[in-house]
Amino acid sequence: MTRRDTHWIVGPGALGRLIGLRLATRAAPSPAVILIGRRRLPVEQSLVTPRGETLEAAVNTATLKALPAIPPRVVHLTTKAYAAEEAHLALAPHLPVGTPLVLWQNGFGCQPRLSRRHDGPVLCATTTEGAYLDDKAAGDSGVVHAGHGETLVGALDGRHAELADELAATLSAAGLPARSVADIRQRLWQKLAVNAAINPLVARFRIRNGQLRDRPFRPMVETIIAEVAAILAAEGITPPGVTGVEANASAEAIEGWRALVWRVVEGTAGNRASMLQDVLAGRPTEHDAILGPLLAAAAAHRLAAPHLTELADRLRERELARSRNPC
């Protein structure tokens, strides 16, 4: 194994393992993959494809405290948003200068900060691939690739297009269709808008995404969409398919956000959203990365966002209660 083709995957949750195992089981030449977590994972890992096939792979594993000797060609940071900067801090001193970093986090919190701090090219990725860890089926050694999606990659400052093209080609060849884009900031905010309209509500009421279509939840979603649309208009973020600065404040833009959110609710009706899964498992949630940037933008533009504020307050209180009474 050489540096040339080695991908370090830091944060081997469902997404990290999906990327790692897709790369490792890709037709030759498959890149070498090292899964790096807080604890060492079993070497033998399996991936259940959306068609139900099981792909097996032996991957190298390591921990943040005992990093591999082989330097990476690229590092994928796939931790939850709230853990990304701490993981980067542990990792950065051990990376050769100029090592490319790919950030796979939800929201828009750590991406600008790490893009400034990292000593090398930084790409951001956003994906609609569906994956979960199935501990019952595979213990600690498997991930289920639940549904195909699309991955978009790019740098916040629009640089490193060649690297983004190369990464998109590598991911696509591994069965994760990917495209390099010049407007990843827009794309990250678009996903954040969807997450903000769905995740805090389903986590608060402990419901599946599809239940948002019914009363009493539907009007709550509409209220959140209206607040999010106003904030994003002020930030110059347009919904997919709607372009132009003037379009931002228009009825067309609000309809664009509504269409996007309800399309995702429909498409993921049976899902328990990631924030609900975190709440049910007693884990921290990504509320800071999702609601934090929206509330900061609302404050900067002097816009009221009472419903988003209330949802953020509740999630923050839950976090405080969790840290006082860890189970």
Residues involved in catalysis: 191
What does the per-residue mask of binding to ligand KPL show for 213-252, with x meaning CB under 6 A?
----------------------------------------
Given the complex with ligand KPL, which of 57 and 276 has the nearer CB atom?
276
Given the complex with ligand KPL, which of 116 and 206 has the nearer CB atom?
206
Given the complex with ligand KPL, which of 251 and 281 has the nearer CB atom?
281
Pick the piece of the chain touching ligand KPL (CB under 6 A) from 19-27, 31-39, 267-275, 303-311.
267-275
What residues between 172 and 191 interact with ligand KPL by CB under 6 A? none
Query: What is the sign of the dihedral through the CA atoms of 224, 225, 231 and 237?
Result: positive
d(CA 301, CA 295): 10
Residue 192, token pair as written in the block: 């954040």
Whether 5 and 170 have beta carbons less than 8 Å apart is answered as: no
**Angle 278-171-291 from CA coordinates, rounded to 5°:** 30
- Helix or strand holding residue 229 (H, E): helix 217-235
Choosing from 99, 151, 209, 285, the residue that interacts with ligand KPL (CB under 6 A) is 209
Whether 157 and 123 have beta carbons less than 8 Å apart is answered as: no
- Residue 191 CA neighbour count, 13 Å, CB half: 21
What residues between 188 and 207 interact with ligand KPL by CB under 6 A? 194-195, 198-199
* Beta-strand relationship, 122-127 and 151-154: antiparallel
Rule CB under 6 A: say whether 167 interacts with ligand KPL. no
d(CA 144, CA 135): 10
Pick the piece of the chain touching ligand KPL (CB under 6 A) from 80-88, 244-252, 271-279, 297-305.
271-279
Choosing from 46, 180, 271, 285, the residue that interacts with ligand KPL (CB under 6 A) is 271
Cβ neighbors of 166 (< 8 A, separation 6 or more) are none
Given the complex with ligand KPL, which of 208 and 314 has the nearer CB atom?
208
Cβ neighbors of 305 (< 8 A, separation 6 or more) are 227, 230, 231, 294, 295, 298
> With CB under 6 A, what is the number of residues at the site for ligand KPL?
10
Given the complex with ligand KPL, which of 123 and 273 has the nearer CB atom?
273
Pick the piece of the chain touching ligand KPL (CB under 6 A) from 75-83, 167-175, 216-224, 265-273.
265-273
Residue 307, token pair as written in the block: 């419903």
Please report how close the Cβ of residue 179 comes to ligand KPL at its closest, in angstroms. 19
Footprint of ligand KPL (CB under 6 A): 194-195, 198-199, 209, 264, 268, 271, 273-274
